[in-house]
Amino acid sequence: MVKKSLIALGALLVLFPTMAFAEDPSAATLNMGLNALWIMVAGVLVLLMQGGFILLETGSTRMKNAGHVAGKTIFTLGLCSLIYWAVGYGFSFGADAAESLNKFIGIGNFFFDPSLTAGDGDSYPSTIFFVFQLAFAAVSLSIAWGGFAERAKLSSYLIYTILFGSVIYPVIAHWIWGGGWLAEDGSQDYAGSTVVHLTGAMGAFAATILLKPRIGKYNKDGSANQISGHNQVFSALSVLLLWVGWFGFNAGSALAVGDGFFGYVAFNTQLGAAGGAVAALLVSWLFTGKADIPTMLNGALAGLVAITASCAYVEPWAAVVIGLVAGVLVFLSAKFFEKIRVDDPISAMSVHGAAGVWGTLANGFFATKELVEKVGVGKAGLFYGGGGEQLWVQFESVVVCGAYAFAASFILLWIMKKLIGFRVTEEQEIIGLDLSEHGSYGYPEHLKKTGASI
């Protein structure tokens, strides 16, 4: 034990010699280092949210697709990383485009080759910024998979990852975060209710329309059947993982340690999530007579999605209200989509779409003057003397970004559907994608024997 400790200490001294032989770093270097450390931690937290998506999507779907649903998340994370490195990051944040083109898309930094360390005057190294942004793109992509669940061919995941990581997500990210035209208008989307969540949800929406409902979801008379997920414990655990990861997502978006403002962002994030969980459980209990667990879990996520845009712009009481409304909204929205025969197995459209829209619009109501000045984007909201101006900007960015993400996804997926097909065959769907796409079950002991008959 003692020996091991000494070896570890020695190794640390080799790695971080400043600990032993300090030459006092400058305040700027210290500041940069602290920022870098926090953004890196936040980026890792956001990356870990993929674990949440794996459990969420797997838990909300059936056993026969479990291996496929879980495994494809890791595969597409890998592919998305390569695409984002090659072109996505450049389209989002590249600074070489002419001013008129830059309104719509960034150019530069393709096959990103960063400098080894932070340059003079930089707040953080660009490597860490890249990792952080990549993790966001991957989250948005995983949200879209909700619309593909249990019936899309594996090849469609491959193709959509390439398209999403290059021309769908980066364009919207550029518009709002990369100095594009919505950024110029002062659109407030602190950590991505629109950029990340609405974009992903629109991808899911386009996919589910093109794929049509799963076999057995609707009866001939139009009534819906419940296709329960196979593991509610997975789903609950997934929400906890996502909730914790969200501290990286929102508080990390401060991109600085500085005066500790990221703590306020984290604080509001917690309030929003809490409001969503509580409201959703109560509303499902009141309306249906049963307190529905999946609805409550979706409520927590909806609260998080909604507070994502507004966490740095609103007062604590407003964060609670935003969360509560999101919890109610997700319940109503899920009912609505089911009614119009859109089969959304993991409620991506309600959790990330409806709540994403609400969270973005909420800034237009609740953004305070003081916080807007602090963040330095846009104006105060309707309830804080800003008039309807900010609300209009928020509305505009929701409509434009939602329309772009939906249209681009729909057209590209439609072309793919015509060229190579989108959905597995009926037989494959019934057998399960574990077997049809990968040749082995996620739960072999449970399913092998019955495999032939189902």
Quickly count: other Cβ atoms within 10 Å of residue 111's Cβ. 9
Q: Of 171, 166, 169, 158, give the one whose Cα is nearest residue 77.
A: 158
Angle at alpha carbon of residue 220, lines to 217 and 226, rounded to 5°: 25
Q: Does residue number 288 form part of the binding site for another protein (CB under 8 A)?
A: yes
User: Rounded to the nearest whole angstrom, what is the least distance from the CB of residue 330 to another protein in the complex?
Assistant: 16
Residue 409: is it exposed, middle or buried by C-beta count within 10 angstroms (0-12/13-18/19+)? buried
Q: Does residue number 224 form part of the binding site for another protein (CB under 8 A)?
A: yes
C-alpha 190/C-alpha 201 separation (Å) is: 18
Q: Does residue number 293 form part of the binding site for another protein (CB under 8 A)?
A: no
Q: Does residue number 383 form part of the binding site for another protein (CB under 8 A)?
A: no
Strand partners, 423: 152
Strand partners, 412: none
Q: Does residue number 221 form part of the binding site for another protein (CB under 8 A)?
A: yes
User: Rounded to the nearest whole angstrom, what is the least distance from the CB of residue 201 to another protein in the complex?
Assistant: 23
Find tokens 């879209």 and name the residue: 144
Q: Does residue number 453 form part of the binding site for another protein (CB under 8 A)?
A: no
CA Rg value for the chain: 23
Comparing CB distances to another protein, the nearer of 99 and 221 is: 221
DSSP state for residue 213 in the 8-state scheme: P
Q: Which stretch binds another protein (CB under 8 A): 190-198, 218-226, 272-280, 405-413?
A: 218-226
Residue 23: is it exposed, middle or buried by C-beta count within 10 angstroms (0-12/13-18/19+)? exposed
Residue 106's identity, in one-letter code, is: G
Q: Which stretch binds another protein (CB under 8 A): 23-31, 107-115, 280-288, 357-365?
A: 280-288
Comparing CB distances to another protein, the nearer of 155 and 288 is: 288
Question: x/- site string to another protein, residues 122 to 161, per CB under 8 A?
Answer: ----------------------------------------
Comparing CB distances to another protein, the nearer of 26 and 219 is: 219
C-alpha 199/C-alpha 352 separation (Å) is: 9
Comparing CB distances to another protein, the nearer of 29 and 228 is: 228
Q: Which stretch binds another protein (CB under 8 A): 183-191, 285-293, 297-305, 406-414?
A: 285-293
C-alpha 215/C-alpha 426 separation (Å) is: 8
Q: Which stretch binds another protein (CB under 8 A): 7-15, 190-198, 222-230, 436-444?
A: 222-230
Q: Where are the beta strands (DSSP E) in 107-244?
A: none
Comparing CB distances to another protein, the nearer of 10 and 216 is: 216
Q: Does residue number 286 form part of the binding site for another protein (CB under 8 A)?
A: yes
**Greatest distance between any 2 Cα atoms in the chain:** 77
Q: Does residue number 340 form part of the binding site for another protein (CB under 8 A)?
A: no
Among 223, 233, 418, 450, binds another protein (CB under 8 A): 223
User: Rounded to the nearest whole angstrom, what is the least distance from the CB of residue 221 to another protein in the complex?
Assistant: 7
**Which residues in the 225-244 window bind another protein by CB under 8 A?**
225-226
User: Is the CB of residue 190 less than 8 Å from the CB of residue 255?
Assistant: no
Among 289, 376, 418, 450, binds another protein (CB under 8 A): 289
Comparing CB distances to another protein, the nearer of 100 and 226 is: 226
Q: Does residue number 287 form part of the binding site for another protein (CB under 8 A)?
A: yes
Q: Of 202, 185, 16, 168, give the one whose Cα is nearest residue 87.
A: 168
Q: Of 249, 261, 267, 265, give the one whose Cα is nearest residue 305.
A: 249
The site for another protein (CB under 8 A) is made up of: 219, 221, 223-226, 286-289
